[in-house]
Chains A and B, each alone.
Chain A
Amino acid sequence: MQKLRAEGSQFTDRGTVDYVIVGVGSAGGVLLQRLARAGFKVLGLEAGPFWDTEKDWLSDEAGSNKLYWEDLRITGGVNPISLGANNSGKGVGGGSVHWAAFTPRLHPSDFQVYSLDGVGTNWPISYEDLKPYYELLELEMPVSGPAWFPWGDPHGYAYGPHPLGEVGDVLVRGCTKLGIRVCAGGPVAILAGSHDDRPHCIYRGYCIQGCKVGAKASTLITHVPDALRHGAEIRDYSMASRIALGPNNRVEGVFYFDREGTERFQRAKAVIVAGYAIETPRLLLNSACPEYPMGLANSSDTVGRYLMVQAGNVILGRFRNLVRMYKAPPAHALTEEFYETDPKRDFARGFAIQTVGPLPIAFGKQMMAAMGAWGWGLRRVMMDYNHWSALGLLGEILPWHANRVTLAKETDQFGIPVAHVHFNLFDNDKKLIEFGKNKVMEVMSAAGAEQVVQEQRYAHLVGAARMGADPGTSVVDKFGRTHDVPNLFICDGSIMPTQGSANPGLTIQALAARTADYLIMQGERIFRSDLRELTAPTPRVDLSPAGTFRKGIPRPHASWIFSRRIAHAKA
């Protein structure tokens, strides 16, 4: 796989950079790349390591824990969510290192959930605002998928789909039997054919352990190399502890602990926090100061609130024939047939059904949860591992004021207070989960499973620093600028006001590209002026990493790229 390098340090603590980005994950990687290409002095502080993928990553389940955020967090509430390996990464690339890389877009309805359904909230932007960025990022990762994706805003993918593994076959069989439309081979940010210096997928099934092959997109290999080539710097093992507010209500820089555990300070003209839905609010809360006693940029008391996870029940079916679900990427087939609100159901919004492919340890724990397996029963069901197939529910849980991140009394290895996460399910969520899980069980049975069990769990995180038009009920505006502090931005999964039933990664990266365009359009004004310009930037197609834009075969419904191509040809 391609060689990666972290350049030596070029900015010093004493100098001032244009932007410090806290967290080089899915969003941080894209921001760093865009801003560097546009010529800004940009520095990424990343709490985890800069990976040497050939040495650090393994084809091994138990050996891959270091990819996840394993520092302490406290989790509670009526329905406490598990964290760590279940939803948060650490190290350059962040969650995109260990994601399964499903990359569906949100549906147009997701941006106006409150107007349409009277629940949740509306976004301050529409699907059309984000669509050009979806199309760009689908080429930059790039995304493999079917020629025709029928749900939401129907579209097709420029790169061909993957062959099916047996789990995908199970989903297609079950859906077909029940007359449910299903889509196979993607959309997933995994190469079905080689692409520049990246080889194609070898179907080894260890996506969640980090793709050593380089076939699965992570910002570590899609955007960070381009960022470094354009002068960005990344300091790894650098844990931001506090953002410093200076005079005139502007932030001055970031305190962080370096790899030796020494506290340092980096000056910056503007700061972008991209630490994801738990660490972002934690950092803001830990940055409380006399001007913002409830936490930096938290005059609305919204920082930490409206945290969301998606219902991620795993439905397991035992088949008479062998399945061997460890083969092929876990992510390779899905249906969004139940995504939208259906007035015939007794709840708002909906869910998707997707393939998953738990490896033995994960499967064993699922059997413990789903069947109460232990002792000889556990040994017996594990001996049948190769007969089981797994499908995942991906259901929309609504944003609730009470679901939030606060600070715990415990501290981490640097002495920084850790996050406390409080999570409850509410009525709509419970009804949706009940209906959705039964539907997936039905699909599993229709595919021919002779026994079907399920485990209730959650996937993904978003929210906790949401964007909105009203500074009284949101933390950032539609470009990620905090309502309170003009040169402080947030750009990661935490700014999403609702989440739909799509995996969040593509949307997070698309939002990052859009914020970058805004910052680039605003130029020096960000560093000097308090004026809040709210005009949307024109999407920049010249900032994609080399060799991505205008590659692949565009589909008729990739309308925006198509029209660009024509415009380009005319020029």
Chain B
Amino acid sequence: MSTRPSHPPRDTDTHLPMEPVAQPGYYPDYDVISQQNAWDDATRKVVLSRLQSRPSLQFFNPAEAEMMLLVCDHIIPQDDRDADHRIEIIPVIDERLHKKRTAGYRYETMPPDDEAYRLFLQALDLMSRHNHGKQFSGLSWREQELILQSINKGKPLEGAGEVWLRLPVHQIWTLFVGDCITAYYQHPWSWNEIGFGGPAYPRAYIRLERGEAEPWERDENRYDWEAPPESVSDLDELSHHDHFPHLTKGGVHD
């Protein structure tokens, strides 16, 4: 894992790469885990277990796991986190697929989840070969980023047309990115990053209005940053996105 290429975000003023830190985000000294004594036993056990490293992978084979690592670094980049504070995403997805846990439904146009994941990885390699003559892992970070961006936009670069017949682009993207979101934002480190209060039973929240912090929460302390120049996933890149509905007055009828 230590050999992963690094593409850290930049300081908006200097445009220089920012040093990776233990805790990115606007709540620098907020530590939700320090509140664990205020949580109930069952919740504490489950939340703290996420700090342990997970058992080895059972669904993905080593080659797939390597590719998953690359892809997840684009879907949820963590180059602002230091090596000791990266949140593991693949083991969470691996466990779900291995135990065949589903969301309780499958789109009629989609294969079962395990098959869908494997087809998706195949599609990435097919697109890479078609456009660059190499497999996905051999592409530059920027090239990988552009392939994924094309899928997010629902207009995948050429090369995997056959796969998309069996794997609707929008549905697999939603499944994949959704699983990554579930894995990352269940981790208490991510709660520190976004200033989420986390478990509150039996203690309760008492300051409900105006976004005020509980005595043990932190106020926000913002800083500016920009995505690395080789990335195309920051919010401003989305303004051409098909389903980016900024409120336009023209769309409102009374």
A interface, CB within 8 angstroms of B: 54-63, 65, 68-76, 80, 82-85, 88, 163-166, 169, 202-206, 212-213, 321-324, 326-328, 359-361, 364-365, 368-387, 420-421, 435, 438, 441-442, 444-445, 451-454
SS of A interface (majority): mixed
Contact B205 A202 (CB under 8 A): yes
Interface 9-mer from B14-22, B51-59, B124-132, B189-197: B189-197
Apart from A204-B200, A375-B233: 14 A-B pairs, beta carbons within 8 A: A59-B198, A70-B103, A71-B104, A75-B107, A76-B107, A166-B209, A213-B201, A323-B211, A327-B207, A360-B194, A374-B74, A375-B227, A376-B234, A384-B194
Contact A360 B108 (CB under 8 A): no
Contact B243 A370 (CB under 8 A): yes
| In the A-B complex, the 10 residue pairs with the closest CB atoms | A84-B104, A375-B233, A322-B211, A76-B108, A202-B204, A59-B199, A62-B186, A376-B227, A83-B105, A204-B200
Q: Tell me if B220 is interfacial: C-beta within 8 Å of chain A.
A: yes
Which among B80, B194, B238 is the interface contact of A377 at CB below 8 angstroms?
A: B238
Which among A88, A213, A374 is the interface contact of B202 at CB below 8 angstroms?
A: A213
Docked complex Cα distance between A227 and B202 (Å): 28
Enumerate chain B residues within 8 angstroms of A361, measured Cβ to Cβ.
181-182, 185-186
Q: Tell me if B63 is interfacial: C-beta within 8 Å of chain A.
A: no
Which among A57, A324, A328, A374 is the interface contact of B233 at CB below 8 angstroms?
A: A374
Q: Please, what's the 1-or-0 string for B234-247, where 1 marks a CB less than 8 Å from any CB in chain A?
A: 11011001111111
Which among A84, A166, A205, A379 is the interface contact of B105 at CB below 8 angstroms?
A: A84
Please judge, given known A-B contacts A58-B46, A60-B46, whether A438 and B205 are in contact too, CB under 8 Å: no
Residue of A nearest to B199 (CB): A59
Residues of chain B from 1 to 51 with CB closer than 8 A to chain A in the complex: 9, 24-26, 39-40, 42-43, 46-47
Which among A62, A370, A378, A420 is the interface contact of B182 at CB below 8 angstroms?
A: A62
Please judge, given known A-B contacts A164-B208, A360-B191, A453-B245, whether A435 and B253 are in contact too, CB under 8 Å: yes
20 contacts between A and B (CB under 8 A): A58-B43, A59-B200, A68-B104, A72-B106, A75-B107, A88-B104, A164-B209, A169-B210, A202-B204, A205-B200, A360-B194, A374-B74, A374-B75, A374-B233, A377-B234, A378-B75, A382-B194, A386-B194, A452-B247, A453-B246
Q: Tally A-B pairs: CB < 8 A.
A: 244
Which among A54, A205, A371, A382 is the interface contact of B40 at CB below 8 angstroms?
A: A54
Residue of B nearest to A408 (CB): B108
Contact A80 B76 (CB under 8 A): no
Contact A204 B205 (CB under 8 A): yes
Contact B178 A373 (CB under 8 A): no
Q: Tell me if B102 is interfacial: C-beta within 8 Å of chain A.
A: yes
Please judge, given known A-B contacts A58-B42, A59-B200, A377-B237, whether A386 and B243 are in contact too, CB under 8 Å: no
Max chain B Cβ within 10 angstroms of own Cβ: one of A62, A361, A379, A444 = A379
Contact B196 A326 (CB under 8 A): yes
Contact B247 A166 (CB under 8 A): no
Please judge, given known A-B contacts A377-B238, A378-B181, whether A84 and B210 are in contact too, CB under 8 Å: no
Residue of A nearest to B233 (CB): A375
Contact A373 B235 (CB under 8 A): yes
Residue of B nearest to A410 (CB): B106
Enumerate chain A residues within 8 angstroms of B165, measured Cβ to Cβ.
none
Docked complex Cα distance between A257 and B210 (Å): 51
Q: Please, what's the 1-or-0 string for B165-185, where 1 marks a CB less than 8 Å from any CB in chain A?
A: 000000000100110011011
SS of B interface (majority): loop
Chain B interface bracket (under 10, 10 to 19, 20 to 34, 35 or more): 35 or more
Enumerate chain B residues within 8 angstroms of A74, measured Cβ to Cβ.
105-108
Max chain A Cβ within 10 angstroms of own Cβ: one of B194, B207, B241 = B194
- Tell me, rounded to whole Å, the shortest Cβ–Cβ distance linking B241 to chain A: 4
Residues of chain B from 132 to 150 with CB closer than 8 A to chain A in the complex: 145, 148
Which among B76, B108, B235 is the interface contact of A75 at CB below 8 angstroms?
A: B108
Residue of A nearest to B217 (CB): A324
Please judge, given known A-B contacts A60-B199, A203-B208, A376-B234, whether A371 and B241 are in contact too, CB under 8 Å: yes
Q: Tell me if B61 is interfacial: C-beta within 8 Å of chain A.
A: no
Contact B231 A375 (CB under 8 A): yes
Q: Tell me if B62 is interfacial: C-beta within 8 Å of chain A.
A: no
Please judge, given known A-B contacts A360-B191, A380-B235, whether A76 and B204 are in contact too, CB under 8 Å: no
Residue of B nearest to A364 (CB): B181
Max chain B Cβ within 10 angstroms of own Cβ: one of A82, A165, A373, A375 = A375
Docked complex Cα distance between A56 and B45 (Å): 12
Docked complex Cα distance between A538 and B154 (Å): 58
Enumerate chain B residues within 8 angstroms of A381, measured Cβ to Cβ.
235
- Tell me, rounded to whole Å, the shortest Cβ–Cβ distance linking A55 to chain B: 6
Residue of B nearest to A455 (CB): B243
Enumerate chain A residues within 8 angstroms of B252, measured Cβ to Cβ.
438, 441-442
Docked complex Cα distance between A197 and B209 (Å): 29
Enumerate chain B residues within 8 angstroms of A202, measured Cβ to Cβ.
200-205
Enumerate chain A residues within 8 angstroms of B197, measured Cβ to Cβ.
324, 326-327
- Tell me, rounded to whole Å, the shortest Cβ–Cβ distance linking B32 to chain A: 12
Docked complex Cα distance between A452 and B17 (Å): 31
Enumerate chain B residues within 8 angstroms of A204, measured Cβ to Cβ.
199-201, 204-205
Docked complex Cα distance between A55 and B45 (Å): 11
Contact A203 B104 (CB under 8 A): no
Enumerate chain B residues within 8 angstroms of A63, measured Cβ to Cβ.
43, 46-47, 186
Please judge, given known A-B contacts A75-B108, A376-B233, whether A61 and B186 are in contact too, CB under 8 Å: yes
Contact B40 A453 (CB under 8 A): no
Enumerate chain A residues within 8 angstroms of B177, measured Cβ to Cβ.
368, 374, 378
Docked complex Cα distance between A165 and B203 (Å): 17
